[in-house]
Amino acid sequence: MDITGLTQIFATSMYGALALIALWGMYCVTMIWARVAQKRFRNEAQQDAFLDAVEEPLERGDFEEASEICESDPRALPQLAYLAIENREIGYSQVKQLVVERFQRDVLADLDHRISWVNTVIKGAPMVGLLGTVTGMMGAFAKLAAAEKVDAGAMASDISLALITTALGLVIAIPLTFCLNSVNIRIRKMEDLVAVGLTRFMSSLREAIATEAMSELEEIQPVRSSK
């Protein structure tokens, strides 16, 4: 097989590569979108309603009921609240650090991983398209060099087909760029909402832990006094 045939085969294979790249980019964006929707409250009013429900048993010192409310909710704030309640024995400052680290690791790190793949697709798709174009034009010019008579129409057709891969790469990258910007806005909103909710919850938890400690101290002191 001559160089013309090889370059045409390689250029044609770029269409398949671009299709796979486009599918992977769409999959990652969809997964990010679904993940954010799963982990966030729709608005601050819903989050406040959840916090009101959790703070009520905390004020009574009923950590078990508060834990049950949080455990069944898959969103980020309830799961972080559940983690904090279950580990309250280690102390407020350590619980706070644990919650922040878990949010970074379990939620944000996973989103960052998928976002990095979308960025790779956005940068890589035009490059793959350009590679297909260059290869296709190499084949067109090789065909031109081997021909005894120049057919301008055939040459223009070959070059036009070669340029399609670059256009496809841009068609993949441009919509994904807008989608990624939209996703990043949703993630920032989720972070802000979770931060506000955690601040309020941790304040309530600190008061509940302090009240629990005082109650235990009051139970111990009469025993010592009687001795």
Q: Give me the residue spans of the domains in the chain.
A: 3-214
Interaxial angle between packed helices 152-226 and 76-86, expressed in degrees from 0 to 180 and rounded to the nearest 10? 30
Cβ of 73: how many Cβ atoms within 10 Å?
16
Top-confidence residue, 47 or 10: 47
Q: Give percent of the chain with pLDDT exceeding 90.
A: 58
Percent of the chain with pLDDT over 70: 88
Q: How many residues does the chain have?
A: 227
DSSP character at residue 123: H
- Local confidence band at 221 (pLDDT 50, 70, 90 cut-offs): low
Question: pLDDT tens digit string along 51-108?
Answer: 999 999 998 889 999 999 999 899 999 999 999 999 988 888 899 999 999 999 988 9
Confidence (pLDDT) at 98: 93
Average pLDDT in the chain:
86
In this predicted structure, what is the pLDDT of residue 150? 61
**CA-based diameter of the chain, in Å?**
115
Distances (CA, A) of 134 to 3, 15, 158, 163, 167: 14, 14, 12, 8, 13
Backbone angles phi, psi at 226, to 5 degrees: -70, -25
Taking residue 90's Cβ as centre, other Cβ atoms within 10 Å add up to: 10
Is 130's pLDDT higher than 60?
A: yes
Measured in whole angstroms, how far is the alpha carbon of residue 82 from the centre of its chain? 22
Please say if the pLDDT value at position 222 is more than 90. no
Look up the pTM and report it.
0.79
Measure the CA–CA gap between 121 and 125, rounded to whole angstroms: 6
State the DSSP string of 22-64: HHHHHHHHHHHHHHHHHHS-SSHHHHHHHHHHHHHHHHHT-HH
Is residue 223 over pLDDT 80?
A: no
Tell me what the mean pLDDT of segment 31-42 comes to. Answer: 92
Residue that wins the pLDDT comparison between 50 and 145:
50
**Which residues contact residue 100 at a Cβ distance below 8 angstroms, ignoring those fewer than 6 apart?**
198
